[in-house]
Amino acid sequence: MLYAGFMSATLPPFPTQPEEPVGEPELLQLSSVEDEPCLRADAARNRARLLDAATRLIAEHGVAGVTMEAVAGAAQVGKGTVFRRFGDRTGLLMALLDHSAKTLQADFMGGPPPLGPGAPPVERLRAFGVAVLYRLVEQLDLQLAAQPDPTRRFAHPSYRALHTHVTILLRQIVRDADCELLAQTLMGYLDPALIHHLVRQCEMPMDRLETGWVDLVARVTGTEPPR
């Protein structure tokens, strides 16, 4: 496996304060202003407590075990508190994914190469796709359960952050292309529903998906694949 080590097997613990990516300027805020107001210290602690409870429920019962009532019970708060904080179950699941997405974003913005700065852009693009593949497979049920409706899917901040990063890398490799549209083509390979189909239904091994991504990057960018 080329880059399997970039992704951990479990979601990291939730901090009580927002994390700051290091190295490069932040691409996008992964949560909207309405979803992430400046929280008082006690509100931030309560939010982290709710997300910790949801993470434990996933570990014990899978994504199906994450209901607003179950999270309220596990965190020992009223159900109304969970609804006020996250709106609905999809909002709660998206908050879980947003924390993981921030960790990935920090890695590709300020982590070690080839995923982070310091490697040629085509090597960073290869590493990015493989890192996202492993993140998707590790959290596949959560990824599918938290998918926004089709009208919001491509406008969601977490998707836009990844798309923006791919676009920036492509502009350094294929300067005469419509890199925004080309980035959408590459991101299609990293669609959670497609990965579910390939891994769970077609039983494709990860090394084949990894090789497929590297080959796709080579063909799209007109570069030589690594030997």
83 in the same domain as 100: no
Mean pLDDT of the chain: 82
Look at the alpha carbons of 101, 102, 108, 111 in this order and tell me if their dihedral is positive or negative: negative
Query: SS3 for the chain, per residue?
Result: CCCHHHCCCCCCCCCCCCCCCCCCCCCCCCCCCCCCCCCCHHHHHHHHHHHHHHHHHHHHHCHHHCCHHHHHHHHCCCHHHHHHHHCCHHHHHHHHHHHHHHHHHHHHHHCCCCCCCCCCHHHHHHHHHHHHHHHHHHCHHHHHHCCCCHHHHCCCHHHHHHHHHHHHHHHHHCCCCCHHHHHHHHHHHCCHHHHHHHHHHCCCCHHHHHHHHHHHHHHHHCCCCCC
211 in the same domain as 103: yes
CA distances from 133 to 139, 182, 192 (A): 10, 18, 9
166 in the same domain as 55: no
- Domain with 167, as residue range(s), is 88-221
- Mean pLDDT, to the nearest integer, of 189-194? 96
CATH number at residue 56: 1.10.10
163 in the same domain as 57: no
Asked if residue 157 belongs to a domain, the reply is: yes
104 in the same domain as 185: yes
**Which pLDDT value is given to residue 39?**
53
Residue range 50-85, pLDDT digits in tens: 888 888 888 788 888 888 999 999 988 888 889 988
205 in the same domain as 106: yes
83 in the same domain as 94: no
Peptide bond into 114 cis (omega under 30): yes
In this prediction the pTM is 0.73
**Which pLDDT value is given to residue 209?**
98
Asked if residue 22 belongs to a domain, the reply is: no
Asked if residue 10 belongs to a domain, the reply is: no
Residue range 84-138, pLDDT digits in tens: 888 888 888 888 888 778 888 999 999 999 999 999 999 999 999 999 999 999 8
pLDDT at 214 over 90: yes
151 in the same domain as 212: yes
Provide the domain count of the chain.
2
pLDDT at 24 over 70: no
Asked if residue 18 belongs to a domain, the reply is: no
